[in-house]
Amino acid sequence: MDSILLVFICMLAGVGLQRVKAFPKNAYVALNQFVIYISLPALALYYIPKIAVSFKLLYPLGVAWIGFLLAFLFFFTLGRAMGWSKKLTGCLILTAGLGNTSFVGFPIIEALYGKEGLQTAIIVDQPGTFVVMATFGIMVAAAYSRGAVGTSAIIRKIVLFPPFIAFFTAIFMNVAGYDFTDSLQSVFQRLGSTVTPVALVAVGMQLKIERKSRHWGFLGLGLFFKLIIMPAFFFVLYKLAIGAEWLAIDVSVMEAAMAPMITASILASSHGLKPRLSGMMIGVGIPLSFLTLALWYWILQF
């Protein structure tokens, strides 16, 4: 429960800082960069060397990898058909394609399914959502951002992106069976734990919910996809088509129903992909997801 309180307190703190004159209006830019250059690389270097690879990962992993592909196909096709800007399409792919499987997901899954369910949630998040964000998420952000002209420019943005460098360093360590000393691991864990408070304060500082905003239609579509269509897809695929009935399947469906990923919003914002809409996807999506999660938990009981 304390993790959920942290989400709301930090977001409200960010909203409050909008009225504090001592803070520059663009202070959230520095916070975004701190998350990207410090917090996310630290997370990768702490968690990825510890991941044990096995076939048991396949179902939970599918939530992140297949889910992101589904979002890409959905919004790419719709964006082309409707004549959307690249920034809008990229924003919706990132924020509707990646779920908040850890900071909101972990406490909810542990409360509903206990420690066993939490083990599955960690698989969904670390080799799943986090790795997708650090690879395909960065690719989408680079490809759809301003100034990304041509393949070489996109590749340069991806290769030089700090979480991407940290991700491949951590993958190499995992394959080599090597991890950092306990002291360094403790440092990386503490730096990585700053993702939630810093990112949410930054989101709150950008959050401006205007009644007459032109983003409401896109917000509704993005949240409908993330909170309803994506979990429905995995419910049909895992529960009905495959017919799997074990606990990990229910946890996987619930994780698919989580609100948009906080760091996906930061990634979109830092690349100029509709920062206001990406902030609204988090600010509106997180509280709304508590209602839709209750619905999916009820459905999974039958």
Q: Each residue of 210-229: pLDDT tens digit?
A: 677 788 999 999 999 999 99
**Maximum C-alpha span of the chain:** 57
**For the chain, how are helix, strand and coil distributed in percent, rounded to 5?**
80, 0, 20
Model pLDDT for residues 252-282, shown as the tens digit of each residue = 999 999 999 988 998 898 889 999 899 889 8
pLDDT in the model for residue 195:
81
2-300 adopts what CATH topology?
A: Na+/H+ antiporter like fold (1.20.1530)
Q: Where are the domains of the chain?
A: 2-300
What is the b/e burial string over 199-227, where b = at least 16 CB atoms within 10 angstroms of the residue's CB? Answer: bbbbbbbbbeeeeeeebeebbebbbebbb
> Which is nearest to 195 in space by CA: 42, 12, 2?
42
Measure the CA–CA gap between 66 and 79, rounded to whole angstroms: 20
Query: Which residues of the chain register pLDDT less than 70?
Result: 1, 3, 54-56, 147-151, 210, 244
